[in-house]
Amino acid sequence: MGKKRGRMVRRSKAAAGSQEPDSLKNAPHSFIFHRGRVGRFVRQLIKDLRMVFSPFTAAKLQVRRNNSLKDFVAVSGIFSVSHFLIFTRTEESLNMRIMHVPRGPTLSFKVLQYCLASDVVSALKKSLCYNKQFANPPLLIFSHIDRSLDHVRLVQTMIQGMLPSLNIDTVRLDDIRRVVLINYDKEEGCFDFRHYGIKTVPAGVSKQAKIVLKRKVPDLGTYQDISEYFTNPEYLSESEPEEGSANVVELSQDLRTRGCKKSTEVAVKLIEMGPRLKLQLYKVEEGFSSGQILYHAFGSDHQPVEQPEASGSETSEQQRRKKRKRPTKTAIKEKRPALESDEL
């Protein structure tokens, strides 16, 4: 008889067989959490943002009071986490930090305004939300980004790093079901964050035909013939908005939506899903929540934003630590002859 295998051996082999592919391991992952007391509305905002950045964020991350920032850094390497998004509240405002793990930089924002996803959906006549929407990351779009400003360009680079890049040659249109739009208002110096769901419907098709395409049985009790359901103008809906030529495109791939096949024209609609955020960048730090201040919105003595140095070169923080250590080493060398003479 063969030797029985232990339970842990079976589990380890099963885990080894179910390892993630390299494409998922190399994709950027994030932790979104809060520090200190922030209130129940901010906690709900964190849950909404986790849904926005899903599936490459920890949706069920639990934070305890005794957890320090070092605890999250310690486990970030295990889960391939590359970014932290942290909310904190002061007496004056709500703040948000985007941190690149483990060496920085750190971007600090003031949350001027925010609106929860539930409030956005409740204001809509028709909402668009289902579980399969969050199986793939959203499409990231930037609008009115001023590339001449270094700190604005750095914000764009940091947020782009939180989501995996798309390969135009291999991407499936059916996987792109959400859009994250970030607009920069140059006059106010603020970033507007919006989250939309993508809805595609066949173009040039009446409302009655769309019901049939969705395999729904219409109510034909008031009609003498089924042709009246499609041709009689008095039964057509006048409240349905007309589809303009700007949002009508020709598909290059098949979609799962009924009636949306390759080489057919479809109308693309964006339905807001929430949340909404209005952010103001006020500080850029070189390191991981420390280091030289590269930009400050409320101070005039800041230096322009520079790209982080290579890993082999010494940072300014490491140079300052060496300077602090030098006096102690020289003092020990000066005291050694005196100690040796006392021993003799």
Q: What is the pTM of this model?
A: 0.74
**Is 117 contained in some domain?**
yes
**Is 18 contained in some domain?**
no
**Is 275 contained in some domain?**
yes
Given a cut of 70, is residue 233 above it in pLDDT? no
Angle at 143 between CA 138 and CA 147, to 5 degrees: 115
At which residue do the structure tokens 């042709």 appear?
A: 227
**Is 306 contained in some domain?**
no
Question: Which residue in 190, 148, 160, 158 sits closest to 276, CA to CA?
Answer: 190
Across the chain, mean pLDDT equals 79
Task: Kindly report the CATH number assigned to the domain that includes residue 58.
Answer: 3.40.50.10480
Q: Report the percent of the chain where pLDDT is more than 90.
A: 44
Other CB atoms within a 10 A radius of the CB of residue 10 amount to 10
Domain enclosing residue 155, as ranges: 23-235+244-296
Residue 6: pLDDT band by 50, 70, 90 thresholds? low
Residue 239: pLDDT band by 50, 70, 90 thresholds? very low
pLDDT tens profile 246-303: 578 888 888 877 777 887 888 888 999 999 999 999 999 999 988 899 999 987 545 5
Buried b (16+ CB within 10 A) or exposed e, 231-266: eeeeeeeeeeeebeeeeeeebeeebebebbeeeeeb
Question: Phi then psi for 320, rounded to 5 degrees?
Answer: -65, -35
pLDDT tens profile 129-177: 877 889 999 999 999 999 899 999 999 999 999 999 888 888 888 889 9
**Is 149 contained in some domain?**
yes
In 3-state terms, what secondary structure has residue 155? helix
Contact assessment for residue 83 and residue 105, using Cβ atoms and an 8 Å cutoff:
no
Given a cut of 50, is residue 236 above it in pLDDT? no
Distance in angstroms (rounded) separating the CA atoms of residues 52 and 248: 26
Other CB atoms within a 10 A radius of the CB of residue 139 amount to 17
Residue 40: pLDDT band by 50, 70, 90 thresholds? very high
Contact assessment for residue 108 and residue 90, using Cβ atoms and an 8 Å cutoff:
no
Contact assessment for residue 87 and residue 45, using Cβ atoms and an 8 Å cutoff:
yes
**Is 50 contained in some domain?**
yes
Q: How many domains does the chain have?
A: 1
Q: What is the reported pLDDT for 182? A: 96
